[in-house]
Amino acid sequence: MDVIVCVKQIPDPETPAAAFKVDEAAMQVLPAQGISPVISPFDAQAVEAALRIKDASGDGTVNIISLGPDSARDAIKHSLAMGADEGYHLKDDAFEGGDAWTIALALSKAIQHLGVPDVLIFGRQAADWDQGTVGSIVAELLDLPSATVLRAVELSGDSITVSRVVADGFENIELSTPCVLTISNEFGDPRYPQLRQIMQAARKQVTELTAADLGLDASEVGSAGSRIQMHALFQPTSDVEVEIIEGDSPEEKAAGLVNALREAKIL
Partner 1 sequence: MASILVFGESDDAGLTAPTLEMLGAASRLSGDLGGGVALALIGTALADAASAAGPAGADTVYTADSESFASYQTDSYLPVAQGIVEQDSPSVVLMSQSSMGRDLAPRLATRLGTAAIMDSLGLEVDGDRVKATRSCYGGNARQVVTVQTDPQVITVRPKSQDPLEADDARSPDVIAVDVAEPTLRARTTGKEQAESEGIRLEDAEIVVSGGRGLGGPEAFADLESLAGVLTAAVGSSRAACDLGWYPPSQQVGLTGTVVSPTLYVAIAISGASQHMAGCGGSKNIVAINKDPDAPIFSFSRFGIVDDYKKVLPALEAAFAEALD
Shortest CB 201 distance to partner 1, Å: 26
In the bound state with partner 1, the residue whose beta carbon lies nearer, of 93 and 189, is 189
N-term to C-term CA, the chain: 58
Residue window 142-181: x/- pattern of binding to partner 1, with contact defined by CB under 8 A: --xxxxxx-x---------x-xxxxxxxxxxxxxx--x--
Q: Does 39 bind partner 1 (CB under 8 A)?
A: no
> Which residues, 6 or more positions from 48, have their beta carbon under 8 angstroms from its beta carbon?
82, 183, 187, 188, 189, 190, 191
| CA-to-CA dists, residue 260 to 80, 169, 193, 238, angstroms | 55, 37, 51, 21
Q: How far is the CB of 210 from partner 1 (least distance, A)?
A: 24
**Minimal distance in Å, beta carbon 97 to partner 1?**
13
What is the spatial distance between Cα 175 and Cα 107, in angstroms, rounded to a whole number? 22
| Contact call for residue 25 and partner 1 (CB under 8 A) | no
Task: Determine the Cα–Cα distance for residues 239 and 250; give it in Å rounded to an integer.
Answer: 28
Window of 1-9, 74-82, 201-209, 230-238 that interacts with partner 1 by CB under 8 A? 230-238
Smallest separation, CB 115 to partner 1 (Å): 19
Site string for partner 1, 75-104 (x = CB under 8 A): ------------------------xxx--x
Q: What is the DSSP letter of 32?
A: P
Residue 105 or 201 having the CB closest to partner 1: 105
Smallest distance from partner 1 to CB 204, Å: 30
232 binds partner 1, rule: CB under 8 A: yes
Q: Which amino acid is residue 214, in one-letter code?
A: L
Among 33, 58, 229, 248, binds partner 1 (CB under 8 A): 229
Cα distances (Å, whole numbers) of residue 164 to 20, 153, 173, 174? 32, 9, 7, 11
Nearest Cα to Cα of residue 39 among 17, 85, 6, 87: 6
* Distance in Å, CB of 126 to partner 1, minimum: 10
Query: Counting contacts by CB under 8 A, is residue 114 touching partner 1?
Result: no
CB of 248 to partner 1, least distance (A): 11
Q: CA angle, corner 107, sides to 163 and 142, nearest 5?
A: 65
Stretch that binds partner 1, among 15-23, 60-68, 110-118, 204-212 (CB under 8 A): 15-23
Angle at 23 between CA 236 and CA 125, to 5 degrees: 65
Q: Which residues from 183-212 bind partner 1, rule CB under 8 A?
A: 184-186, 188-189
| Position among 74, 85, 118, 140 found at the interface with partner 1 (CB under 8 A) | 140
What is the spatial distance between Cα 157 and Cα 1, in angstroms, rounded to a whole number? 10
